[in-house]
Structures are given as structure tokens and as C-alpha cells.
Amino acid sequence: MKEKHPKFMNKSLLLAMLMSLLAIILSPLANANAQEDTPIKIGVLQHVEHEALNDAQQGFIDRMNEEYGDRIEWDIQNASGNMASLQSIAEKLARESDVLYAIATPAAQALAAVETEKPIFFSAVAAPLQAGLVDTMEEPGRNLTGTTNLGPIEDHVELLIKNFPDAKNIGILYNSSEVNAQHQVDLAVEAMEARDLTPVLGTITSTNDIQQILSSLIEEIDVLLMVTDNTVDSSIALVGDMAKAAGIPTVGSSDSVVKANGLMTISNSYIDYGVQTAEMAIRYLEEDLNVAEMPVEIGKNFVMIVNEEFAEAIGIDPATLVELD
């Protein structure tokens, strides 16, 4: 049997080594390319239909599509304020999605109740701690994080005082079963009482109560202070029209709600809240972060918003409305 020359054996060994080295080098690239082609299934659960929540959804979707394009498989659901539907939709989304996006406190609570491992990002949650969604704002301690839309309540009270210095009786219409709204009302009452204003509260349990409760409330107040309440916000057409008809200014709530049918507020854009939450989700996906260690974030750009048409409808020159110093 003829033996192979050592020279040829060395060449064969060298070729094998080169092939092995090439495989090692190319393997991560192949995995990266495969990962770039892997679909990302994102389930979106919105509690109810209104301008602010719609904006938060749009901001999130636009930013995620900008980053990942056709890789994302969206499942976008709206419970239309129905708590029974919210629960069943949450179960379906948790079962079929890789990443979850909750818009408003009830949606976040519903997803948190059925999913303890997959990442849940939220927007339009004014009181994550009080709602039992996180252990602390700095370190959530579980699979939920996102952005809080808690507005600058004290600034809203100061804005009210600066623009309506003669106002004494300040109304708040809210759903007392919404923990996010109750937390804001508690803060507002404390701020008003510290400034010798009289809070006049009108509590509702559903949109069906609004006309009756607000009709009585309007007779007792000088200004309506708005908190971000999903029940009220989903009926802002009615609430705003009733306030206008009575010549009552509204101060507070989200930029989207004020633009729809309110007078003025200091607010971060809800589209920006959605974008900001998407940025958090992108960091999670790209950097393999632990959601439980990602701090809840606040809005970054609060500005005064004035609805000039509303102002003129109640006899106020929009140019006379002033910002805080």
C-alpha cells in the first residue's frame, strides 16, 4: 500500500483546520442573520377607546415598525372598556405573543394576572405601584415595566390658580374604582386644600353616570380639574360639551383629551409615551435585559397645551392664558 507523502498530509490537515476556523467565525454571523429573520410576535391590549390611549398605541407601533419592520407580527386588541372581555383577550394574547404591550392600568393588570414570565411593557399607567404592578418604580421586581403618565398634579392646581385666581370651588369628575384616577384625586385634593381651595368630588362607576353626576357638579364649581381617568376620557365629547355649555373651564388631563375637548393642561405627548415605551422594549430585545430590573420611566417633555376653540367657546381669549413661571 502506497503511503501518502507528509506534504499532502500537512495540506489536508491545514485545510481541515481552516474549514473549522471558518465555521467558528461564520457561526455567530449565521445565528445573527437567523435571529434577524425571526418574527417577533407582539400582543397589544388597550383597555378602552379614547384619544390619549390611541396616541400611545400609535407611538409604540410606529417606533417598533421603524426598528423591526416586517419582522413584527402584530395582534392588536381593544376591550372597549369591558372587563370580562379584557380578561379573555389578555389570556389569548399572553398565550400567543412573545412581547406584550398594555395600554392603561386595567389592561396591564389583566396581563399581569395571566402572564408571569413574558415581558409586559405598559403605557398610560398613572400609578404602577398603587395598582400592584411593580414592587418599586426603580426596580419593578417582576416581568412588567414601562412609562407612567402621572401628570404634574400640583402644577395643574397652580396653573388653575394662576389663570383663574377667583376660583374657589374646584370640581373633579372621576371613576372611584379606577386606582389610577383615585391616586391622582388624592394628590389633587391634598394640593387644593393646602392652597385653601375647596375640592368638590363627583364619583361615577360607568359612562352612564356622567351626565347626571356632572350636571349636579357643574352647579357647584368654578373650574373642573381633570385627572387622567379612562371612563371620563372615553366620554370627553360629552364632558367637554357640558363644561362649555356651562362656561366652566377645564384644567388638566392629557394633551390628547384637551385637544379633543378641553381647555388647558400641562402634559407630555401620549404619542411620545408610546415611543418611549417602544424604546424600552427595543433595549430589552437588543440587549437581553431583565425587565424586572428596568425602572419605570416618566415623561420627558411636559408642555402647556391650550385648546383655543374651547377657550373662545367659554368666552376666554386664548392669548390671556399664561404658563407657570
Task: Please report the pLDDT score of residue 109 as a whole number.
Answer: 98
Let me know if residue 310 belongs to a domain.
yes
Residues 144 and 223 in one domain: no
Rounded Cα–Cα distance for residues 13 and 303 (Å): 70
Q: What's the domain range around 136?
A: 40-149+269-294
Task: Please report the pLDDT score of residue 30 as a whole number.
Answer: 43
Let me know if residue 6 belongs to a domain.
no
Let me know if residue 53 belongs to a domain.
yes
214 and 242 Cβ atoms separated by less than 8 Å: yes
Question: How far from each other are the two terminal CA atoms of the chain, in whole angstroms?
Answer: 98
Residues 283 and 224 in one domain: no
Residues 276 and 263 in one domain: no
Residues 135 and 175 in one domain: no
Q: Mind listing the pLDDT tens digit for each residue in 291-312?
A: 999 999 999 999 999 999 999 9
| Structural domain count, the chain | 2
Pairing of the two strands 144-148 and 99-103: unpaired
Let me know if residue 10 belongs to a domain.
no
Neighbours of 19 (CB within 10 A): 10
Quick one: average pLDDT of 246-259? 97
Residues 69 and 189 in one domain: no
Neighbours of 208 (CB within 10 A): 10
Q: Mind listing the pLDDT tens digit for each residue in 105-164?
A: 999 999 999 999 999 999 999 999 999 999 999 999 999 999 999 999 999 999 999 999
Residues 231 and 158 in one domain: yes
Residues 198 and 277 in one domain: no
Rounded Cα–Cα distance for residues 297 and 130 (Å): 16
Let me know if residue 235 belongs to a domain.
yes
Task: Give the confidence band of 19 by pLDDT, cuts at 50, 70, 90.
Answer: low
Residues 283 and 253 in one domain: no
Here the CATH number for the domain that contains residue 232 is 3.40.50.2300
Q: Mind listing the pLDDT tens digit for each residue in 158-170?
A: 999 999 999 999 9
Residues 197 and 143 in one domain: no
Let me know if residue 31 belongs to a domain.
no
Residues 284 and 197 in one domain: no
